[in-house]
Amino acid sequence: MFKKLIDNSTAKSPWIYHINAGSCNGCDIELVAVLTPRYDAERFGFKLAGTPRHADIVVVSGPVTSQSKERLIRTLEQVPEPRVIVSLGSCPRSCNVFKGSYSVEGPLDKFCHVDISVAGCAPKPEAIVLGLAQAAQLLKQKREEAAQK
Amino acid sequence: MIQHLPILAIMTYFLGAFLTTLLGHNSKSVRWFLVMLASVASFVMMCLLIKPIFLDGGIIGYWMGGRAPEAGYAIGIGLEVDALSLFFGLLVTFTVLLSAVYSIKYISRDDAQDKYYTLFLMLAGGVLGLVLSGDLFNIFIMVEIMTFAAVALTAYRNWAEGSLESAFKYLAVGSIGSSMILAGTIMVYSQVHTLNLAQISALLAGQGLTNTTVFAFALLFIGFGVKAFIVPFHPIAADAYMTAPASISMVFSGMVNKAGVYGMIRLVYVVFQIMDVKSVNYLIVLLGTITMFIGVTSALNQHDFKRLLAFHSISQIGYVITAIGLATSLGIAGGLYHAMNHTLFKGLLFLCAGAVFYSAGTTDLDRLGGLAKRMPQTAAIFLVGAAAISGIPPFNGFASKWVIYQACYEAAAAASGFASIFYAVVTIVGLLVSVMTLASFVKVSQSVFFGQLPDEFDEVKEAPLLMRIPMWIMAACCLLAGLLPGPLSRFALQPAAAATLNIKGYIDTMMGGGYAASQMGDVTPVAELDFSTIGYWQPVAWLVLFVIIMAAVLIVALGSQGARGNKRSTELEKVDGKYATFFGGEHSTYSMVGGSDLFWGLRYNLRHYFGFLSDMHSGVVNDYALWAVTAAAGIILYMFLFL
Amino acid sequence: MDILMKALYLLIFPGLLYCSVAGLLLAGIDRKVVARMQKRIGPPLLQPAYDFFKLLGKETIVPAAAARRTFLAAPVIGLVSLVVTAVLVPVFGFSAFGGVADVVVILYLLTIPAVAIIMGGAASGSPYAGVGISREMVTMMAYELPLVIVLLAVGKAAGDGGVTFSLSKIVEYQQANGPLITHWTMWPAALAMLLVIPAEIGSHPFDVAEAETEICEGALVEYSGAPLALFKLSSAIKLYIMTALFSCLFLSGWGTGIVAVDALILVAVCAVIMLICVSLVRAVCARLKVEILFRFYWRVVAVLAAISLILAWLVG
Amino acid sequence: MIRFPYVREALTQVFSKPSTEKYPFVKKEAPENYRGRIKFHPDRCINCGMCIRVCSPGAIVRTVEKQEDGDLVTMEFHMDSCTFCQMCADFCTKNSIELTKDYEMVASDPKDLIESGTFLKKKPVPKKPISDELPPAPKVDDPEM
């Protein structure tokens, strides 16, 4: 029963940590818009965490630049299990217009497995809400799998 | 046999000092044997006195050479041990014993160890002689022995920066205090033509206060104030504690300043019997409050572990003085309780500082950090000491501070008008000082034991076992003294507080029955002791709590097997970033928040006050002497105006 | 039997279970109402409980640079001391350890959770935590002065001529003479206490110590999993204790006498107090700078409390 | 020293309707001219390649498979690489690219973010010998071309 309580809670209280890996700020603004009264992601228990140690969902925006690559990897490692990585916008998936630049090392899935992608440039806040909701369900799934092992 | 024990205890120290010089020059083991023998023997002798004095309520009077008073005049030198003396005697011998054990390892790298131990035992003998003595001039002599041994020990590590300087400061300002005591003794003698404390007490009470007596009281009060390092005589203490070896700093704060406190209690309550005079109470409480506040705020400003502890020592003595100045039985009991606790936790903290110095070679708060990983036991002991001094339950500091607040606030309720507001403010300052104490120990723990480990201290080792044993004993005592206030107050504090007020018994023991009544006429009745509020908590409940906490901590520590432990941070980071410190994604580098940078919000707001404090502690001995003399003049003036 | 009753007190009724449930519920109400004040829908009422249970299921990482034992022990010590405090605060007429309940004991016990956070943060070896503990400490010194004065003022007002440090005596006095809030001399103290509560629990305008946008949650930066869950639970319990303490100091003296009903009423009263002093302030204010916070508490709140103290001396 | 503004605002809001959109439960129409999920109509495409030339992130991939009766052209629109600038749609003479109002572009599988369409581009009819007459004007609307 206790285990089930934890499993259910996992889906209901996903805390987000946002990493900007060289984004143009468009997606970042939209992510913040998700927390505003209009979209209010706190309805689903979402909360912006200040440190990767508290996070369940890591939201990465931006193509991974050579400057941010090392920091990104280190920060992703520091997130405790179970964790879900969400890519926000086109850049982390494909580097978008920056692909081929000398300073871009991306895309993100070179370095880690991306669980959920939210497309759009930038994505509409509704899409982000939807993506995060899916990520929360995935989190619960991962938690159950980990608990079974 | 029993009545010979006090003088034997004193002589053991002095004999030990003599023999150490004579025999201990070449052989380490002889030296250690002599020192340990002397300290253990004295401690045992003091313990043997517990039964007749604490439990049976007796007072031991002893005339050296059997020179009992003739024709109503005490010509011989007398020792008089009542519960108050024994209380301090026990503190002194206990501190000396632990410090001696600690010194074995701590001093092992220094040269001239025989001189160290000689001076050490001289100091111990001086303080023990002071608290057991029943003779005013003898007290002066013991103060002198104590002061000069202390000065020499301050300069013991004369290769260290500032040690000679601080010894000189101690000598200069300490001499002012000593001469005040001598002058006060002369004044007293000119009035009553005797030097025996009991007889002085009886005669003074009979004659009432004259100008000479008031002057004598003021001088003696200042003299013992200097020895207790109350503000504004405190800067010498800060320097001396910092530069002396840690084992000696512990002795300083454990017994040397207690000697001053003892002198004050003896003077105010027994010899001059003026605890009923409100103006003296106000003065003592005011001095105590200023002392505790200035001590703690100066401590917030320090960069050096031992200097910070020194200021806390001053601050805690302020608590003791405040409580004693309240002149209620609860206040005296609280003051004595806190004096004892101060010996325990401050000694403990000084030993921790010594262990850090022994292992890391420095006590600079801005350079140290993260030592808890290398010295886990020292860190744990330090946390106990820090919790005790900041008054966190269930350690002893909380219990005694509680009694002091209670006493203060009851005094406030009992007084009227301005006095009640004054005592209420004192209570508030006391509580605030406690929080500030906590703050500065947070600073120490962050800058020394936690935080990041600088590379230069990567190879630091835990302190040796011989140094840890006294520390653990003191830590255990801190907890026990906090958990068992009931038995403590019944068997030690109540007898001591009662002895403080039992002036008639004190006089009659020395001068023969009925002497007090014949000289004083109406004998002051022993004040009723009301300890109803001391039974304020249920130790069992706290023991249960402590066990629960320990069990919970154990479960957590065992339960989290997945978490990785104390590997070298640098190695681990190469393989796995997961266990690296979060640094905003950067590779973690050494970027410690320096000890002096903590609390800048506070320091910014109080910058004018802190600036004033810095200006005050100029480090110039002329200034300190000037402060001392000015304060002395002020106190004398106050006494003449209001007594 | 006595030990058993004590264990029962500690674990079930005024202790761990009750105060956790009450604290988490209050925290849920707080988050919901703040959301509504900001025109949002807000999280479900049980959100703090979800957070707590989720964190229990997460991995616990002890950083390599941390002093492991202190790092893990700190949250436990903080929680246990809070539970003990909760046991000591009377529920209207009912008080579990009657004779022990004492304002100074509570004052010191309330510092332990803050110290636990500070110790844990210091032990984690992170510079963010270093900044966090320094701010936590300054905040603590800031609110401790007014809190002390408030407690002394109440002790004087309820002392019936003398003074009292005993919470149960304060409650008894109010049973005889009506709640202290009805005495006009206590109004400044009540206001000061209301302003102390948000700082004590580290809620928004006064949360300099855990500013997640500036210093990455301050002292909690390296915590994850179960220890973090304990810290979150501690802060929820603190919410309950502080509001219950307020109601004990100023609004006590009545109650039905049935302990279960009283407990429910107390939670309701706590919720109202919390809505006034925590939620409303949190919803409309931006975070302060630490030096402004310190100045505010020493210059405004402490003065308010001192006025009350002086009035209590003059009038009573 | 500290002001508490907006208190009345906060208090009135408690009793009024929240302005939050109940999004996942109540779907919302995107605004006019919103450039969302790409829809490709392969039946209109003429394989002119203009869209590929104007696509700044290079999100459009064309694969051509030779077959007997012509080229089997597959156009792939990688929406995870797209900036949704609508240049491709604007330049498409045949209006075969359309940016819909669908904004729910969330996928756990990257393939879900690819819009593709395949069509057969028939080989042109073998050339007749050049006659003196002018060739007839090509039919613009012929989808088969």
For B591-611, the three-class secondary structure string (H helix, E strand, C coil) is CCCCHHHCCHHHHHHCHHHHH
Closest approach of chain B CAs to the CA of A148, in angstroms?
16
Average pLDDT, integer, range B244-249: 86
Query: Cβ of A58 under 8 Å from any chain B Cβ?
Result: no
Neighbour-count burial of C249, counting CB atoms closer than 10 A to its CB (0-12 exposed, 13-18 middle, 19+ buried): buried
Tell me the chain B residues in contact with residue A17 when contact means C-beta distances shorter than 8 Å: none
Query: Residue C45: helix, strand or coil by DSSP?
Result: coil
In whole angstroms, what is the distance from residue C229 CA to residue C213 CA? 20
> What is the pTM assigned to this prediction?
0.83
Q: What is the DSSP string of B487-534?
A: HHIIIIIHHHHHHHH-HHHHHHHHH-TTHHHHHHSSPPPPPPP--GGG
In whole angstroms, what is the distance from residue D38 CA to residue B331 CA? 84
pLDDT at B415 over 80: no
Phi, psi of B313 (to 5 degrees): -60, -45
> CB atoms < 10 A from the CB of B148, how many?
19
Q: Which of A40, A54, A147 sits opposite C41 (nearest CB)?
A: A40
**Identity of the residue numbered D111:** K
Average pLDDT, integer, range D33-54: 84
pLDDT at B573 over 70: no
Contacts of C303 (CB under 8 A, 6+ apart): none
pLDDT of residue C316: 61
Query: Residue D75: helix, strand or coil by DSSP?
Result: strand
B66: which DSSP letter?
A: G
In sequence order, what are the beta bridge partners of D39? Answer: D98
Query: Cβ of B604 under 8 Å from any chain C Cβ?
Result: yes
In sequence order, what are the beta bridge partners of B79? Answer: B62, B133
The domain limits of chain B are 2-555+593-642
Helix, strand, coil proportions of chain B in percent (round to 5)?
Answer: 75, 0, 25
Average pLDDT, integer, range B174-190: 89
- Per-residue confidence band for B5, with pLDDT thresholds at 50, 70 and 90: confident
The count of CB pairs under 8 A between chains B and C is 240
Average pLDDT, integer, range C139-159: 83
Query: Cβ of D13 under 8 Å from any chain C Cβ?
Result: yes
- Per-residue confidence band for B396, with pLDDT thresholds at 50, 70 and 90: confident
Tell me the chain B residues in contact with residue C3 when contact means C-beta distances shorter than 8 Å: 544
pLDDT of residue B594: 63
Tell me the chain A residues in contact with residue C50 when contact means C-beta distances shorter than 8 Å: 8-9, 12-13, 45
Query: Cβ of C281 under 8 Å from any chain D Cβ?
Result: yes
Residue D68 lies in a domain: yes
In whole angstroms, what is the distance from residue B511 CA to residue B499 CA? 17
pLDDT of residue B571: 44
Tell me which residue of B280, B318, B274, B272 sits closest to B296, measured CA to CA. B318
CB contact under 8 A, C283 and D5: no
In whole angstroms, what is the distance from residue A99 CA to residue A82 CA? 31
pLDDT at C188 over 60: yes
Contacts of B338 (CB under 8 A, 6+ apart): B316, B319, B320, B323, B397, B400, B401, B403, B404
Return the partners of chain A (3 or more C-beta pairs < 8 Å): B, C, D
Report CA B593 to chain centroid distance, whole Å.
31
Are chains C and B in contact at 3+ CB pairs closer than 8 Å?
yes
CB contact under 8 A, D113 and A118: no
Tell me which residue of A134, A99, A128 sits closest to D78, measured CA to CA. A99
Q: What is the DSSP string of B395-463?
A: SHHHHHHHHHHHHHHHHHHHS-THHHHHHHHHHHHHHHHHHHHHHHHHHHIIIIISS---GGGTT--PP
- Per-residue confidence band for A81, with pLDDT thresholds at 50, 70 and 90: confident
Give how many domains chain D has, as a whole number: 1
Residue D18 lies in a domain: no
> Cβ distance B323 to B334 under 8 Å?
yes
pLDDT at D140 over 80: no
**Identity of the residue numbered C54:** K
Tell me the chain A residues in contact with residue B569 when contact means C-beta distances shorter than 8 Å: none
Tens of pLDDT, residues B506-523: 777 777 766 666 666 554
Tell me the chain D residues in contact with residue C33 when contact means C-beta distances shorter than 8 Å: 14
Average pLDDT, integer, range B536-562: 58
Mean pLDDT of chain C: 80
Are chains A and C in contact at 3+ CB pairs closer than 8 Å?
yes
Return the partners of chain C (3 or more C-beta pairs < 8 Å): A, B, D
For C305, the domain range is 2-315
Query: Cβ of C286 under 8 Å from any chain D Cβ?
Result: no
Query: Residue A104: helix, strand or coil by DSSP?
Result: strand
Tell me which residue of B437, B434, B438, B431 sits closest to B409, measured CA to CA. B431
Tell me the chain A residues in contact with residue D111 when contact means C-beta distances shorter than 8 Å: none
Q: Which residue of C has its CA nearest to D2?
A: C296
Q: What is the DSSP string of B181-222?
A: HHHHHHHHHHHHS--BHHHHHHHHHHH---HHHHHHHHHHHH
Cα-based distances in Å from B589 to B455, C62, C127: 11, 18, 10
Contacts of B513 (CB under 8 A, 6+ apart): none
Q: Which residue of A has its CA nearest to D85?
A: A121
- The residue to which tokens 């020293």 are assigned: D1
In sequence order, what are the beta bridge partners of C98? Answer: none
Query: Cβ of C57 under 8 Å from any chain A Cβ?
Result: yes
Average pLDDT, integer, range B521-549: 54
Q: Which of B576, B582, B586 sits opposite A52 (nearest CB)?
A: B582
Query: Domains in chain A, start-ordered, CATH in brackets?
Result: 2-148 (3.40.50.12280)
Tell me which residue of B142, B149, B91, B144 sits closest to B120, measured CA to CA. B149
In whole angstroms, what is the distance from residue B382 CA to residue B393 CA? 16
Tell me the chain D residues in contact with residue C205 when contact means C-beta distances shorter than 8 Å: 2
In whole angstroms, what is the distance from residue B345 CA to residue B572 CA? 37
Residue D50 lies in a domain: yes
pLDDT of residue B570: 44
Q: Residue A60 is inside which H or E element, if any?
A: strand A57-61
Beta strands A15-20 and A47-48, pairing class: parallel
**What count of Cα atoms within 13 Å lies in the side-chain half-sphere of residue A2?**
3
The tokens of D28 are what?
């919302």
Radius of gyration of chain A (CA): 15
Tell me which residue of B294, B299, B300 sits closest to B310, measured CA to CA. B299
The tokens of D64 are what?
């051509």
- Per-residue confidence band for D2, with pLDDT thresholds at 50, 70 and 90: low
Average pLDDT, integer, range B39-48: 88
Q: Which of C33, C39, C299 sits opposite D19 (nearest CB)?
A: C39
The tokens of B356 are what?
């850090």
Tell me the chain C residues in contact with residue B439 when contact means C-beta distances shorter than 8 Å: 137-138, 140-141
Q: Which residue of B has its CA nearest to C215?
A: B584
Give how many domains chain C has, as a whole number: 1
pLDDT of residue B34: 87
CB contact under 8 A, B421 and C73: no
Which of B169-178, C91-100, C108-117, D106-115 is predicted most confidently?
Answer: B169-178
- The residue to which tokens 């140094």 are assigned: B467
> Cβ distance B125 to B14 under 8 Å?
yes
Pick the residue of A96, A99, A114, A141 with the most D CBs within 10 A to test the interface with D by mutation: A96
Q: Which of A90, A129, A138 sits opposite D81 (nearest CB)?
A: A90
The answer for C30, left when phi > 0, alpha when psi is -120 to 50, beta otherwise, is alpha
CB contact under 8 A, D80 and A97: no
Phi, psi of B467 (to 5 degrees): -85, -30
Average the pLDDT over each of A129-138, B55-64, B557-566, C253-262 and give the range with the smallest value. B557-566
Pick the residue of D1, D11, D14 with the most C CBs within 10 A to test the interface with C by mutation: D14
pLDDT of residue B465: 84
Tell me the chain B residues in contact with residue C208 when contact means C-beta distances shorter than 8 Å: 601
The share of chain D scoring above pLDDT 70, in percent, equals: 84
In sequence order, what are the beta bridge partners of B80? Answer: B61
pLDDT of residue D111: 78
Interface of A with B in 75-114 (CB under 8 A): 75, 77-78
Tens of pLDDT, residues C189-244: 888 888 888 888 888 788 877 777 777 777 888 888 888 888 888 888 888 888 88
Query: Cβ of B585 under 8 Å from any chain A Cβ?
Result: yes
Report CA B1 to chain centroid distance, whole Å.
31
Tell me the chain D residues in contact with residue A130 when contact means C-beta distances shorter than 8 Å: 23-24, 104, 106
Tell me which residue of C58, C125, B565 sits closest to A17, measured CA to CA. C58
- Per-residue confidence band for B534, with pLDDT thresholds at 50, 70 and 90: very low
| Better-predicted residue by pLDDT, B124 or C253 | B124
pLDDT at A119 over 70: yes
Average the pLDDT over each of B100-114, B589-603, C242-256, D18-32 and give the range with the smallest value. B589-603
CB contact under 8 A, D103 and A123: yes
In whole angstroms, what is the distance from residue B16 CA to residue B44 CA? 15
Q: What is the DSSP string of C53-87?
A: HHHHTSPP---TTS-HHHHHHHHHHHHHHHHHHHH
pLDDT at B25 over 70: yes
- The residue to which tokens 């005790």 are assigned: B388
Average the pLDDT over each of B96-100, B221-225, D118-122 and give the range with the smallest value. D118-122
Mean pLDDT of chain B: 80
CB contact under 8 A, D13 and C39: yes
- Per-residue confidence band for B501, with pLDDT thresholds at 50, 70 and 90: confident
Pick the residue of C106, C108, C234 with the most B CBs within 10 A to test the interface with B by mutation: C108
- Per-residue confidence band for C79, with pLDDT thresholds at 50, 70 and 90: confident
Q: List the Cα angle D100/D105/D107 in 5-degree steps.
A: 150
Cα-based distances in Å from B301 to B297, B431, B612, B629, C168: 7, 19, 12, 26, 40
What number of residues does chain C have?
316
In whole angstroms, what is the distance from residue B186 CA to residue B98 CA? 37
Average pLDDT, integer, range D108-135: 74
pLDDT of residue C150: 86
Pick the residue of C124, C163, C303 with the most B CBs within 10 A to test the interface with B by mutation: C163
> CB atoms < 10 A from the CB of B244, how many?
28
For D47, the domain range is 38-102+109-122
Contacts of B620 (CB under 8 A, 6+ apart): none
pLDDT of residue B567: 42
Tell me the chain D residues in contact with residue C283 when contact means C-beta distances shorter than 8 Å: 10
Look up the CATH number of the domain holding residue D42: 3.30.70.3270
Are chains D and C in contact at 3+ CB pairs closer than 8 Å?
yes
